């Protein structure tokens, strides 16, 4: 099969767009996981023991970040396989709908 220069450029731009989409998702997932890890470390090391309100807000923020994390993981999985991670009996179960 012979491709024209236009066909090759068209296919290349499609693949680059797919690659950029995946890269953006991967980077977002990376930074969310880093934030969660740092926040959980502070909680585990007792750095928030003297401020229950800050600890509670941190836990809520971790839950919200985890929900975003699942959304991104679902986008990545769906991109490659057309499937999603489904959480059962979990506070974020509603994001699967």
Q: For the chain, what are the domain ranges?
A: 5-96
- Give the Å distances, CA to CA, from 60 to 7, 24, 52, 65: 50, 25, 12, 9
Q: What is the pTM of this model?
A: 0.72
Q: What is the pLDDT of residues 39-58, one digit of tens each?
A: 999 988 998 889 889 889 99
Give the pLDDT confidence score for residue 34 in this predicted structure. Answer: 96
Instruction: Assign 97 a pLDDT band (cuts: 50, 70, 90).
Output: low
Q: What H or E segment, with its residue span, contains residue 44?
A: helix 5-44
Mean pLDDT for all residues in the chain: 86
Give the pLDDT confidence score for residue 96 in this predicted structure. Answer: 52
The candidate with the shortest Cα–Cα distance to 70, out of 36, 23, 40, 19, is 36
Instruction: Count CB-CB contacts under 10 A for residue 70.
Output: 19
Q: What is the pLDDT of residues 4-19, one digit of tens each?
A: 989 889 888 988 888 8
The candidate with the shortest Cα–Cα distance to 70, out of 32, 27, 24, is 32
What percent of the chain lies above the pLDDT cut of 90? 40
């Amino acid at each position: 099969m012979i491709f024209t220069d236009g066909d090759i450029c068209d296919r290349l731009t499609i693949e680059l767009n797919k690659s950029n989409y995946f890269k953006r998702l991967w980077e977002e997932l990376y930074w969310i996981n880093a934030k969660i890890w740092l926040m959980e470390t502070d909680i585990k090391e007792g750095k928030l023991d003297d401020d229950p309100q800050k600890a509670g807000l941190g836990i809520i923020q971790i839950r919200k970040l985890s929900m975003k994390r699942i959304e991104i993981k679902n986008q990545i999985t769906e991109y490659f396989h057309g499937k999603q991670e489904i959480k059962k009996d979990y506070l974020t179960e509603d994001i699967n709908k």
